[in-house]
């Protein structure tokens, strides 16, 4: 039997939040090429917003929390969704971080040979694992 992973207060709070919902919407911000479909660059991974104007520091901190929880097998991060609810991701399209990504693409178009001409939001979700549920309640 596994022993309880050592979680920070922030990790425990996020795990508890994920456990309260069936799935927590998150995104991967990507740069894509309309010329070369196989060209995809991840600008920011595991983006979980609370507000449209979240700072880059807040976004990166949450991303690190999600990564650590996934590495400990307490949650899964899934970006292969067959169906999504538009309202779950509206915040991301209206966010400052996505606006910055769009601006980055526009600025890049001025450079010769710039291939990443399309900002893209890859929709995903965080889901607590059975192991994560047991650990959250102190039974692992």
42-72 pLDDT tens trace: 999 999 999 999 999 999 999 999 999 999 9
112-128 mean pLDDT? 94
Question: pTM of the entire structure?
Answer: 0.89
Contact call for residues 75 and 126 (beta carbons, < 8 A): yes
Would the pLDDT of 4 be above 70?
Answer: no
Residue with tokens 């910055």: 100
Joined tokens for residue 116: 């990443």
Q: Percentage of residues in the chain with pLDDT exceeding 70?
A: 97
Characterize 64-83 residue by residue with b for buried, 16 or more Cβ atoms within 10 angstroms of its Cβ, and e for exposed. Answer: ebbebbbebebbebeeeeee
Q: Is 85 helix (H, G, I), strand (E, B) or coil?
A: coil
Any idea what DSSP says for residue 4? P
């Amino acid at each position: 039997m596994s022993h309880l992973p050592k979680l920070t207060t922030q990790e425990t709070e996020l795990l508890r939040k994920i456990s309260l919902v069936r799935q927590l919407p998150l995104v991967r911000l990507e740069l894509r090429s309309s010329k070369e479909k196989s060209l995809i660059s991840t600008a920011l991974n595991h983006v979980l917003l609370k507000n449209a104007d979240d700072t880059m520091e807040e976004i990166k901190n949450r991303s690190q929390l999600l990564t650590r929880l996934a590495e400990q097998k307490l949650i899964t991060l899934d970006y292969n969704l067959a169906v999504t609810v538009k309202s779950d991701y509206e915040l991301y399209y209206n966010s400052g971080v996505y606006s910055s990504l769009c601006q980055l693409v526009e600025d890049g178009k001025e450079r010769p040979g710039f291939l990443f001409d399309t900002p893209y939001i890859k929709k995903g979700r965080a889901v607590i694992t059975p192991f994560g549920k047991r650990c959250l309640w102190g039974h692992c």
